[in-house]
Chains A and B, each alone.
Chain A
């Protein structure tokens, strides 16, 4: 069965550069969640989208933006990168509507800012 796809899997950027992370949800899933997991830390919710509209927002810096496209894939755009942005970025997908629908996680993109 198709799973959540994230690209790239690894990304190395320098300070002040920009990065774009992509997430392709499971077919027919209409909701995408982005999480950030810093080294040795719990994953933290960044932002979510339902039917191409932002549905919730967490601790996402103003330097980051995200959107969901008509094919339901989502992109997380990160500008003016800082060393502290180095983390594992997960996306997850689900179908919204029934509270408690299972979320399926992608493998993550490991971003290293040098």
Chain B
């Protein structure tokens, strides 16, 4: 069993739909990251969370430390949101290397 699991693995939605991507982890963490990877490979950091909720534009990320679960929401989805979204965690041993989830491939259809 992977330390970090995401669901769904693939998600196709119509433009404008509300999107939710889930991440569950099994280890103690100091922080959780949501990353975006476009075709061609570049990774962009979207959020870093250690508790609660963060919002940036149409993106919202939440984390429940007790349940070891985080969600990434996209409101009013747009074709340009199509990408792979990756959840990654930093362990609470303080060394800060990231352990990555398997990613969710999101496709938004116009």
Contacts and interface: CB of A to CB of B under 8 A. Distances in A.
Interface string A89-107: 0101010100111111101
Contacts of B100: 42-44
Contacts of A101: 96
Given A42-B102, A107-B41, A99 B97 contact: no
Interface residues of A, number: 27
Interface string A8-41: 0000000000000000000000010101010000
A96 B98 CA distance: 13
Given A99-B30, A99-B90, A45 B43 contact: no
B95 A100 contact: no
A48 interface: yes
Interface size for chain B: under 10, 10 to 19, 20 to 34, or 35 or more residues? 20 to 34
Given A107-B42, A108-B43, A100 B90 contact: yes
B45 A104 contact: yes
Given A48-B97, A94-B96, A100 B30 contact: yes
SS class, residues of chain A in contact with chain B: strand
B41 A103 contact: no
A103 B94 contact: no
A55 interface: yes
Closest 10 CB pairs of A and B: A100-B31, A99-B30, A105-B43, A42-B100, A45-B97, A107-B42, A102-B48, A56-B95, A88-B41, A108-B41
Interface of B: 30-31, 33, 35, 41-45, 48, 50, 86, 88, 90, 92, 94-103
20 contacts: A33-B98, A35-B98, A42-B101, A42-B103, A43-B88, A43-B98, A43-B100, A45-B97, A48-B97, A56-B95, A88-B41, A90-B43, A92-B98, A99-B30, A99-B31, A99-B94, A100-B50, A101-B96, A105-B43, A107-B41
